[in-house]
Amino acid sequence: MKNKLKVLRAEHSYTQEDLADIIGVSRQTINAIEKEKFDPSLPTAFRISQLFKLTIEDIFYFEEN
Amino acid sequence: MKKDRKKNLYQLAAWTWSWVATLAIASFGPKYIWDGHTFLTIFAISVNLANGILMIVANRNFFNNLDELQRKIHLESLALTLGLAVVVGLTYSLLDVTNVIVVDAEISNLVVFIGITYLICVTVNTRRYT
């Protein structure tokens, strides 16, 4: 799954640590999501979308390899 | 959240160390401290067992408080460690039973193997997601 998390985080001037604290996950998790090595759970995806006031589909999208 | 995880980790470390200490006392106490006194030996073993159960509870609390990625990392590591422990443990036992190895198969060797395997699995899995 692809995502725009890194771009959104940069636009809002959050560090990975800031975002991790707000969402309630570890910094490593934010890093893994940004690098698309790990797909977040639905609650985490919702928390991210609510924080950036976007829909989940605006941030995460599926792309066939 | 982060504070809770740290607290759970310290609690797990404390219970693990106290379990190791009570295990050492229960193992060496009868010979070196209370000269084989049956009541004291049973008491020491009971304390060790109770301590072990509390360590397991602390481990469960630690696990439940991990975030989703950490839980995935530990779960994959646990699955690999469990599989390897069963397969390697039984092979080791078989080598002893069939007298292929000259030394007796000790459970402590398996415990060390489990510990090292889990440590390697967690390290490798953590790197995979970094």
Question: Which residues does chain A have within 8 Å of residue B8's beta carbon, measured at their own beta carbons?
Answer: none
- Look at residue A64 and tell me whether its pLDDT is greater than 80: no
Among B27, B11, B91, residue whose Cα is nearest residue B59: B11
Question: Which residues does chain A have within 8 Å of residue B72's beta carbon, measured at their own beta carbons?
Answer: 38
Architecture of domain A2-59: Orthogonal Bundle (1.10)
Domains in chain B: boundaries: 1-65, 67-130
How far apart are the C-alpha atoms of A21 and B21, rounded to whole Å? 37
Shortest distance between the Cα of A26 and any Cα of chain B, in A, equals 7
Q: Phi and psi of B109, rounded to 5°?
A: -65, -40
pLDDT digits (tens, 9 = 90+) for B24-63: 999 999 999 988 899 999 999 999 999 999 999 999 999 9
Shortest distance between the Cα of B57 and any Cα of chain A, in A, equals 23
Domains in chain A: boundaries: 2-59
Residue B3's pLDDT is: 81
Task: Find the mean pLDDT for residues B80-102.
Answer: 94
